[in-house]
Amino acid sequence: MTLSLSYLSYILFKKHQLYLEVQLVFLNFAIKSIDYDF
């Protein structure tokens, strides 16, 4: 039970980490495009 629970929390953590990385990449692209506009 505890093993599956920790495994589930690990999967959720990895998904959250991937989501944050995608957000950072998107922010970097947005900042670069704004820099190119000016």
- Domain boundaries, position 19: 1-38
State how many domains the chain has. Answer: 1
Per-residue pLDDT, 26: 93
Per-residue pLDDT, 5: 87
At which residue do the structure tokens 């991937």 appear? 18
Per-residue pLDDT, 33: 85
Q: Which residues of 1-25 are buried (b: 16+ CB within 10 A; e: fewer)?
A: eeeeeeeeeeeeeeeeeeeeeeeee
Could you report the average pLDDT of every consecutive run of 10 residues in the chain (38 residues)? 85 93 93 76
